[in-house]
Amino acid sequence: MTSLDYGRAADLTERLQSRLVDSIADDAGVTRRAVLGGLGIAGGAALAGLGSADEGSHAIAAHDEDSTHGNFGSKGEYADLAFDPHEYLYQFNTGEGGQENVPQDVYRETVDGVERTVREFTLTAVDTTVTIAPGIEFPAWAYNGQVPGPTLRAVEGDLVRVEFENLGRHAHTIHPHLRNLNPRMDGIPQNGPGVLDTGESFTYEWLAQPAGVHFYHCHSLPLKEHIHRGLYGAMIIDPDPERVAARPEEYCGFHASQITAELREELVARAESRNHESDANADVNEMVMVMNGFDTNFDGDNEVYAANTRAFGYGVGRTNGKGEWAAGETVRPIRIDGQRPQRVYLINTIEFDPINSFHTHSQFFDYYDHGTTLLPTSKRVDTVMQCQAQRGIIELDYSDHEPGLYMFHAHQSEFAELGWMSFFEVV
């Protein structure tokens, strides 16, 4: 990888990022059409790495005062929380460890006559602001002060216990995309405690099932606003290798009579690779990417797109080519060891657009829709589409690639130009 290659990639990131920031900052009523129009040549030639621009530094107007739903109350703040999209990639809260802003614990307990591992987390809904591009802040509603919310991780059969308190000004819940057998725990206005007003709390309990990459979010109405404002996060349920050995047919597309000893062994090995308590899991570099968008003028149309909130956060800043980046903590590619398998837990949380996508340059990957199977649902693809709330697991192998920069982005081209454009740096 030559310095010229890095320079062109940095020019691309700077040009797209600066035009996006300036377009939003110049007009609080900016539309997506206006932003794309403002990009001009960046929409085409900049994708080839041409040009540069100066970076703006502004903030958008808050919208909370115009909202006509919810309840007034105290405003929860995590004023000192510094969200780093690069750290977020690898932050898994398992009860035994994770983020400092997520109180958590793990212990054994007899639940309905069955002894289980309990993974307990404390989540708090607050009103705050999040940075979505340099100098651009978005008035968010957030779990534990961050968007996306903390990634919760458990093993099949565990009990996930979430102590939830609402410190925001509007009524909120937590709804899990799990196979939940208790309607009181569904986190919707019509069941159990319903919506929680300011200062109220409730303890949700969910069995960790099925294995896969899942989603949790607020289910208060209007639903599109509560999700769009940032009340969502990833929940990863690791497969239990012992359960896979006993019921392999539930993790693949084969009938029990078709399961051979070799296939059973393969499925167990794959389960161990995806189980954070197994030594085999240490051989894989795992990342969480939550694809999201932001309607900066609240007209029902996103003006900014991202993976993990920061537009172009995984782009290329100025570098000396030795891993030192002049652009700070947010603008740099995702550095990966080409000799280790890469696993991406991918979730689409976007609102106001029906489909999002993930596309890799110069690489094909295996994809596991929802992550509920141990055999790929799509093999050797370079693009996957996800509708709203869809998720899956991507497995990549760069062992035969030369070191350097490899782009990945949404293949809705306007999404890429408006923030959802990134690079892996293979070393």
Please write the tens of the pLDDT for every residue from 287-302.
Answer: 999 999 999 999 999 9
239-264 pLDDT, tens digit per residue, is 999 999 999 999 998 999 999 999 99
Is the per-residue pLDDT at 61 higher than 90?
no
Q: How confident is the model at residue 30 (pLDDT cuts 50, 70, 90)?
A: low
Nearest to 378 by CA among 393, 388, 398, 361: 393
- Beta bridge partners of residue 304, listed in sequence order: 294
Is the per-residue pLDDT at 85 higher than 90?
yes
Q: How confident is the model at residue 317 (pLDDT cuts 50, 70, 90)?
A: confident
Q: Which helix (H) or strand (E) holds 25?
A: helix 3-26
- Residue 382 near residue 359, CB atoms below 8 Å: yes
Is the per-residue pLDDT at 324 higher than 80?
no
| 397-426 as b/e: b if 16+ CB within 10 A | ebeeeeebbbbbbbbbebbbbbbbbbbbbb
Is the per-residue pLDDT at 44 higher than 90?
no
What pLDDT, on the 0 to 100 scale, is given for residue 25?
Answer: 76
Nearest to 392 by CA among 423, 422, 356: 356
CA separation, residue 184 to residues 190, 205, 232, 419 (Å): 9, 9, 20, 39
Share of the chain above pLDDT 70, in %: 83
Q: All domains of the chain, ordered by start, with CATH?
A: 85-239 (2.60.40.420), 242-273 (no CATH), 284-426 (2.60.40.420)
DSSP codes of every residue in 121-157: EEEEEEEEEEEEETTEEEEEEEETTBSSEEEEEEETT
Q: How confident is the model at residue 70 (pLDDT cuts 50, 70, 90)?
A: very low
Mean pLDDT over the full length of the chain: 88
Which of 354 and 33 is assigned the larger pLDDT?
Answer: 354
What pLDDT, on the 0 to 100 scale, is given for residue 78?
Answer: 33
* Contacts (Cβ under 8 Å, ≥6 apart) of 187: 173, 174, 175, 176, 204, 216, 218, 219
Q: What is the mean pLDDT of residues 163-179?
A: 98
Nearest to 314 by CA among 306, 305, 304, 322: 306
Q: Which burial class, exposed, middle or buried, applies to 257 when counting CB atoms under 10 A from its CB (0-12, 13-18, 19+)?
A: exposed
What pLDDT, on the 0 to 100 scale, is given for residue 321?
Answer: 64
Is the per-residue pLDDT at 193 higher than 90?
yes
Is the per-residue pLDDT at 171 higher than 70?
yes
- Residue 179 near residue 231, CB atoms below 8 Å: no
400-417 pLDDT, tens digit per residue, is 999 999 999 999 999 999
What pLDDT, on the 0 to 100 scale, is given for residue 328?
Answer: 52
| 87-120 as b/e: b if 16+ CB within 10 A | ebbebbbbbeebbebbebeeeeeeeeeeebbbbb
Is the per-residue pLDDT at 164 higher than 80?
yes
* Contacts (Cβ under 8 Å, ≥6 apart) of 98: 91, 92, 104, 150, 151
91-103 pLDDT, tens digit per residue, is 999 999 999 999 9
What pLDDT, on the 0 to 100 scale, is given for residue 134?
Answer: 86
What pLDDT, on the 0 to 100 scale, is given for residue 309?
Answer: 96
